[in-house]
Amino acid sequence: MGFSDYRTALVTGASSGIGAATVRRLCAEGLEVHALGRDHRRLARLSAETGCRACALDVNDLAALTRLGGSAEFDVLVNSAGQSRRSNILDTAPDDVDTLVDVNLRAVLHLTRLIVPSMAQRNRGHVINISSIAGHYAFGENATTFNSSAAYHATKSGIHSLSQQLRIDLYGTCIRITEVSPGRVATSIFQNQNAADNPDARFVGAFETLQSEDIAEAIAFAVGAPARMNVAMIEVVPTFQVVGELRFASRSDTTRLREMTSGADNA
């Protein structure tokens, strides 16, 4: 099993970034790739470049997803669409929670339930879920990163859990499940990353950063592996990125926080 055994693929988030790079990579292997995204102009250009089938729709449109899921027998599903927000739980906006859950988790669940049963009937298929190191590690703001949102971490952790459970649900079939968990990738999460007035520019320009093509290559490795081999999870980070840190709050900080809390209680 590998590229020679697959004929069709569906890639979400195909308007740019990892999704677009994956479309190019899979098309290069001769698959008929359906590229799903919201930006019809970018999809049209991608289709002209690669020959992919452009599917301009929103992953939150369940009726459209249902129609798309029944339009072909997809052998490969790449759940790449995702969004991020910047906040912690103390100042998270309700719309941000809804958007992240809708795009990063709910859409993935719906597409998976719409497409995987056909794979099971044919006993052939491969699901690639793009998660994030944010789904496995907690990290806060420091000199080299910014504080991601609790909602983002939670949705990516959900993708990790979903990938594990899918292997249980599909045990005994030839369907493979791969989770690709990237570190920092130069994608649209850093909008206008080279702009001088963009505060996030330093998170890309000053540090080694993965490119979307690096993740597409990881996906190609998993899909092209022999039938006996299921690449269950790939964590891909820049060579000079390390995950995790140990930090302590000083006694003066904790004392000041207790005093502030006590003052508020006595007000």
Catalytic residues: 152
Which stretches of 37-182 are DSSP H helices? 40-50, 62-69, 94-100, 107-122, 150-169
**Cα(108)–Cα(93) distance, integer angstroms:** 22
Place of tokens 């190019």: 24
Place of tokens 């339930």: 113
Bridge partners (DSSP) of residue 175 are: 125
Kindly write down the DSSP assignment for every residue of 166-184, as one continuous string: HHHHTTTSSEEEEEEEE--
Which stretches of the chain are DSSP H helices? 17-28, 40-50, 62-69, 94-100, 107-122, 150-169, 202-205, 212-223, 251-266
Number of residues assigned to the chain = 267
Q: Which tokens in the block code for residue 64? A: 């459209």
**Residues 37/43, Cβ–Cβ less than 8 Å:** yes
